[in-house]
Amino acid sequence: MRAFIDNKLVIASNNDGKILELQEILKVFDIHILSNKDFNITEPIEDGKTFKENAYIKSYNTASKTKLVSLSDDSGISFKALNNRPGIHSARYAGKKKNFTLAMKKLNKELKFSDDKSCKFTCALSLCWPDGYNITVQGEIYGEFTWPPVGEKGFGYDPIFKPNGYSMTFGEIDSRIKNEISHRALATNKLVDFLIKVYDWIFQHNLNLMYVYADEN
C-alpha cells in the first residue's frame, strides 16, 4: 500500500503561482505541503517530449532528493493554428528567462492573421515516490485567445486565455472558480479519483469530495 511519507508532500516547483494554486487545490488533504523552495532544490532540465514526461522528470528529481513523495506539474498552452505551439515549450517561448509578457506578445503577433483563436491549457501531474514509482495524469481545458491581456489574477498565460463558456479570462476569474475548472484542477481530480479507486484513500484520509473526471486525449 502506497502512502505519504511522514505525512508530507513536496510540490516539485519553485513557481510561486503553481505552488499557491496546488496548495489551495490540495488543502482538503490532511498532509503537510512543502515545495522545492523548502529544500533549495533546483528544477532539472526538462528534456521530455510530452507534458507527462516532463512532469515525471521533475517529480522524480524532487522525490529522490527529499526522500519524500513529490507532486510535479508540467503545463502549457497550445494553439491549433500554430500546430499546437508553444505546448511543452510554453514557459520559455520567449526565452530562457520565462518572460510571459514577451511570450504573450509573441503569440499575438503569430496569431494576428489567423481566424482560428482556439487554444487549450494542458496540465500533467506526476505523483512520485523516492523509488521512482509514479502516477501521472493529464487534464485539459479548452478556450480561446483574447487580446490584449486582461486581468491581474493567476499567472503565466492566464490573462489571454478565456475558457469556453466564460466571459472572463483566467486572469479575471476568481481563484475559487478557477481552481474548480482549470486544467490543473481537472488533472488533480483525475489523480485523486485514481487513488480512491486503487488505494481506497477515501477511507484512509476521510475525504468527502466531489470529483470531475477529465477524459484523456
Q: What is the pLDDT along the chain (217 residues), one digit of tens a residue?
A: 677 889 899 999 999 988 998 888 888 777 899 999 999 999 899 999 999 999 999 999 999 999 999 999 999 999 999 999 999 999 999 998 899 999 999 999 999 999 999 999 999 999 999 999 999 999 999 999 999 999 999 999 999 999 999 999 999 999 999 999 999 999 999 988 887 776 555 445 444 333 322 333 3
In sequence order, the 6+-apart residues with CB closer than 8 A to the CB of 211 are 189, 192, 193
Q: Phi then psi for 75, rounded to 5 degrees?
A: -140, 165
Looking at domain 8-204, does it have CATH number 3.40.50.300? Answer: no
Bridge partners (DSSP) listed for residue 35: 11
Q: Which of 30, 38, 47, 74 is an active site residue?
A: 74
Q: What is the pLDDT of residue 199?
A: 58
Domain boundaries, the chain: 8-204
Asked if 74 is an active-site residue, the reply is: yes
Q: What is the pLDDT of residue 216?
A: 37
